[in-house]
Structure 1
Amino acid sequence: MLLDVPGFIASLGLPDGCRVDQRVPKKLLLENGAPTAADKRLIADTVEEIQWVAALKPNTIGVPDYRDDQREYLEIAVLAVTLRSQPGQDKAKPANAARLAELVHRAVPYPVLLLLCSGQSMTLSLAHKRWAQNEAGKVVLDGGLVAASLPEDAPGADAMDAFMQTVALARQPRSSLLALYQGWMDGVQALLAAKMTGAFKAADSPKQAAARRHALQECVRLEAEAARLRAQAGKEKQLARQVELNLALKRVLAQLAAAREQL
């Protein structure tokens, strides 16, 4: 299943009143989202085009804004960034794409639904924002990015179809822009869970979605620990130490299986 930006945007079902459809000069990202010389080179060399697709505000989608001591969600921006195809590659390197997504999220003061397009692949990412603790008026990322590559992270066409139905604006919570944004984030995490379980299932409640978030974090942590133990055991020369590492690996794999059961 091949995806493109227009197809994905159509699946969101956004009202015409929130569409912006304006090209954003790359210069703005270079000036506001590139803290290092390496980041400036990355943007200059790999970003082909930035499109501001839509601005979701209370007066354009009928969902109230959100304010508390930690954050202020007055609007949600939908952005599409097209990357240049590199010689001999049909898409950007994962590390480069992840860094670019982070730079875009950091550069925009609003929460962003970001589509990063590279060749035939599209990465969808989201990240919560909060007030910076030490700088008045400055917004920073609150936690890491939640991202999925489409369609690679779907275990099959059925899961992909189910996910595409789940992202529709009409199916998101409408109590506030924060709840709406979290609804999209929960949908992406459901797809990441489906990659491990083989079947897509949307969360039935915010409590279930929160439990899945925790289980996904545990799976990522335990998979990294299992990889570390395997590598260490492969290099170990002493038999007793090999046995010890393999026993530790079995314990981690049992914990990983238990975490996957929570997905």
Structure 2
Amino acid sequence: MSLLVSALDLPTSCRVDQRVPKKMLAENGAATSADKRLINDSIEEIQWLAALKPNTVGVSEYSDDQREYLEVAVLSITARYAPQGEGANATNKPVNTTRLAELVHRAVPYPVLLLLAAPQGLFLSLAHKCSAQNEVGKVVLDGEPATVKVALDLTAKYPFVQALALPRQPQANFLALYQGWMDCLTAWEAMQYTGSFTMTETPAQAVTRRSALHRCRDLDVQIASLRSAASKEKQIARQVAANLEIKALLAERQQVATDI
């Protein structure tokens, strides 16, 4: 995690470096007993690393009818295995990193860049926010958080690491800056399909890439499901039909991947 914190190149003017009690997260982000259990059992430590504000990083606030980006919070969480069962039968339960990241984004009223170190790997997570339609003054998530697993063998010279630096993000306002980090995560996900890390050059290209990635993920789920069903199918005709459908989906996936 220290490599990614350094890679962000955050100025000392915005650093907070303050521990946050997980009780605060449980009170503000956990709507159910299962969520509270996830927070209490899985989190080892929460650190508020930095508060990006106009007077600390020289970037302007953003405001329109749907959202206010007055500042951006940078947080880190160290998570641990949650024990399941008791005594000799106790096992280590994997951390639900997707849900944990979502709870953090819901609990903090500002957009968050979250660094999450869990037993199963290192994750980065971001989520756009907007005003709630039915409750004045309330902020909600604008779509699902983007939570991606990052390779542990990255070096300071890796393009993805270099791309995260704060000075490399758009500086027009906090919405543009935050979207710059979001595009970094999208480029990392795209690399899993293309084999190389490249940033998009225009907002339109970024939108096209995100749409293509979403469609490819959906197609991968469908293909995996069909393959599983086909392997269990005993009727030849249905096996043939499933294989033809898989072939068509693979062709579509190959075509969609050209936009990544």
TM-score by shorter chain over 0.5 = yes
Alpha-carbon spacing, 1:124–1:187, altered in 2? closer, same or farther (3 Å): same
Query: 1:92: Cα distance to partner?
Result: 7.0
Partner of 1:131: 131
Equivalent of 1:165, from 145, 162, 167?
A: 162
Q: Please give the TM-score of this superposition, normalised by the length of structure 1.
A: 0.91
Alpha-carbon spacing, 1:34–1:157, altered in 2? closer, same or farther (3 Å): closer
Equivalent of 2:248, from 235, 246, 251?
A: 251
Query: 1:238: Cα distance to partner?
Result: 2.1
SS in 2 for 1:78: strand
Counterpart mapping for 1:210-249 below 5 A = 210-249=207-246
Partner of 1:93: 94
Query: What amino acid is the match of 2:231?
Result: G
Please tell me whether residue 11 in structure 1 is matched to residue 12 in structure 2: no
Query: What amino acid is the match of 1:217?
Result: H
Asked if structure 2 preserves the Cα contact closer than 8 Å seen for 1:21 and 1:53, the reply is yes
C-alpha deviations, 1:48-69, integer Å up to 9, x for none? Answer: 1110000111111111111111
Structure 1: which 4+ aligned runs deviate by more than 6 Å?
none
Query: 1:206: Cα distance to partner?
Result: 1.2
Alpha-carbon spacing, 1:195–1:44, altered in 2? closer, same or farther (3 Å): same
Alpha-carbon spacing, 1:192–1:101, altered in 2? closer, same or farther (3 Å): same
Alpha-carbon spacing, 1:21–1:92, altered in 2? closer, same or farther (3 Å): farther
5+ unaligned residues in a row in structure 2: which ranges?
Answer: 85-91
Please tell me whether residue 145 in structure 1 is matched to residue 145 in structure 2: yes
Asked if structure 2 preserves the Cα contact closer than 8 Å seen for 1:11 and 1:167, the reply is yes
Aligned residue pairs: how many? 253
Counterpart mapping for 1:77-116 below 5 A = 77-86=73-82, 93=94, 96-116=96-116
Distance in 2 between the 1:13 and 1:120 partners? 26
Please tell me whether residue 35 in structure 1 is matched to residue 10 in structure 2: no
Query: 1:38: Cα distance to partner?
Result: 0.7
Alpha-carbon RMSD:
2.0
Query: 1:195: Cα distance to partner?
Result: 1.3
Partner of 2:59: 63
Query: What amino acid is the match of 2:203?
Result: P
Asked if structure 2 preserves the Cα contact closer than 8 Å seen for 1:151 and 1:160, the reply is no
Query: 1:259: Cα distance to partner?
Result: 1.5
Asked if structure 2 preserves the Cα contact closer than 8 Å seen for 1:159 and 1:200, the reply is no
5+ unaligned residues in a row in structure 1: which ranges?
Answer: none
Query: 1:235: Cα distance to partner?
Result: 2.3
**What percentage of residue pairs aligned between the two structures are identical?**
55
Query: 1:116: Cα distance to partner?
Result: 0.7
Q: Please give the TM-score of this superposition, normalised by the length of structure 2.
A: 0.92
Partner of 1:51: 47
SS in 1 for 2:123: strand
Asked if structure 1 preserves the Cα contact closer than 8 Å seen for 2:94 and 2:119, the reply is no
Counterpart mapping for 1:174-193 below 5 A = 174-193=171-190
Distance in 2 between the 1:55 and 1:259 partners? 38
Equivalent of 1:20, from 10, 13, 16?
A: 16
Partner of 1:194: 191
